[in-house]
Amino acid sequence: MSQQQFENFTASSLYCEKCKTAMPVRERLLLILPDKELYDYLCTGCASSVGSREITAGEKLMAQRMAKRRPRRAAPAPAIQL
Ligand SMILES: [Zn+2]
Protein backbone atom coordinates (compact mmCIF):
# COMPACT_ATOMS: atom_id res chain seq x y z
CA MET A 1 0.00 0.00 0.00
CA SER A 2 2.81 2.39 0.82
CA GLN A 3 4.32 1.51 -2.53
CA GLN A 4 1.18 2.70 -4.29
CA GLN A 5 1.33 5.99 -2.42
CA PHE A 6 4.95 6.41 -3.34
CA GLU A 7 4.15 5.92 -7.00
CA ASN A 8 1.34 8.43 -6.86
CA PHE A 9 3.55 10.96 -5.20
CA THR A 10 6.32 10.68 -7.75
CA ALA A 11 3.88 10.98 -10.65
CA SER A 12 4.19 14.12 -12.75
CA SER A 13 0.74 15.30 -11.72
CA LEU A 14 -0.43 16.24 -8.26
CA TYR A 15 -3.71 17.56 -6.96
CA CYS A 16 -3.72 21.33 -6.75
CA GLU A 17 -6.14 22.93 -4.31
CA LYS A 18 -6.23 26.20 -6.20
CA CYS A 19 -6.90 24.62 -9.60
CA LYS A 20 -9.20 22.01 -7.97
CA THR A 21 -7.75 19.29 -10.15
CA ALA A 22 -4.63 17.22 -10.70
CA MET A 23 -2.10 19.42 -12.43
CA PRO A 24 1.29 18.72 -13.98
CA VAL A 25 3.96 19.77 -11.53
CA ARG A 26 7.41 21.16 -11.79
CA GLU A 27 10.10 19.85 -9.48
CA ARG A 28 12.24 22.45 -7.80
CA LEU A 29 15.30 21.66 -5.76
CA LEU A 30 14.95 23.47 -2.46
CA LEU A 31 17.83 22.32 -0.35
CA ILE A 32 20.83 20.05 -0.60
CA LEU A 33 21.98 18.40 2.58
CA PRO A 34 24.90 16.00 3.00
CA ASP A 35 22.59 12.99 3.21
CA LYS A 36 19.47 14.12 1.36
CA GLU A 37 17.88 16.60 -1.00
CA LEU A 38 14.64 18.47 -0.48
CA TYR A 39 12.38 19.06 -3.46
CA ASP A 40 9.35 21.28 -3.81
CA TYR A 41 6.59 20.56 -6.32
CA LEU A 42 4.97 23.54 -8.01
CA CYS A 43 1.73 23.51 -9.96
CA THR A 44 2.42 24.50 -13.56
CA GLY A 45 -0.96 26.23 -13.71
CA CYS A 46 -0.82 28.62 -10.76
CA ALA A 47 2.76 28.08 -9.54
CA SER A 48 1.68 27.32 -5.99
CA SER A 49 3.41 24.62 -4.01
CA VAL A 50 1.44 21.37 -4.08
CA GLY A 51 3.89 19.19 -2.22
CA SER A 52 7.43 18.52 -1.20
CA ARG A 53 9.64 15.52 -0.96
CA GLU A 54 12.89 14.44 0.62
CA ILE A 55 15.18 12.25 -1.41
CA THR A 56 17.83 10.50 0.59
CA ALA A 57 21.22 9.67 -0.83
CA GLY A 58 20.21 6.02 -1.00
CA GLU A 59 17.03 6.74 -2.94
CA LYS A 60 18.87 8.97 -5.35
CA LEU A 61 21.45 6.30 -6.02
CA MET A 62 18.70 3.78 -6.67
CA ALA A 63 16.91 6.14 -9.06
CA GLN A 64 20.12 6.76 -10.96
CA ARG A 65 20.76 3.06 -11.25
CA MET A 66 17.28 2.41 -12.58
CA ALA A 67 17.56 5.28 -15.05
CA LYS A 68 20.75 3.80 -16.43
CA ARG A 69 19.24 0.36 -16.87
CA ARG A 70 16.74 1.60 -19.51
CA PRO A 71 14.29 -1.25 -20.07
CA ARG A 72 13.87 -2.06 -23.74
CA ARG A 73 10.14 -2.57 -23.71
CA ALA A 74 7.40 -1.06 -21.64
CA ALA A 75 7.60 -3.60 -18.87
CA PRO A 76 5.90 -2.90 -15.55
CA ALA A 77 7.86 -0.33 -13.57
CA PRO A 78 10.44 -1.89 -11.28
CA ALA A 79 9.15 -2.26 -7.75
CA ILE A 80 10.61 0.20 -5.31
CA GLN A 81 11.14 -1.17 -1.83
CA LEU A 82 10.85 1.43 0.87
ZN1 LIG B 1 -2.65 25.12 -9.50
Residue 45 is classified by DSSP as: T
Q: Which residues are close to ligand 1, an ion, with C-beta < 5 A?
A: 16, 18-19, 23, 43, 45-46
Q: What is the pLDDT of residue 21?
A: 95
Q: What is the pLDDT of residue 81?
A: 66
Q: What is the pLDDT of residue 71?
A: 61
Q: What is the pLDDT of residue 26?
A: 92
From first to last of its 82 residues, the chain has per-residue pLDDT tens of 445 555 545 558 899 999 999 999 999 999 999 999 999 999 999 999 999 999 998 888 888 888 887 666 666 666 766 6
Of 52, 50, 32, the residue nearest 40 (C-alpha): 52
Q: What is the pLDDT of residue 72?
A: 65
71 C-alpha to ligand 1 centroid (Å): 33
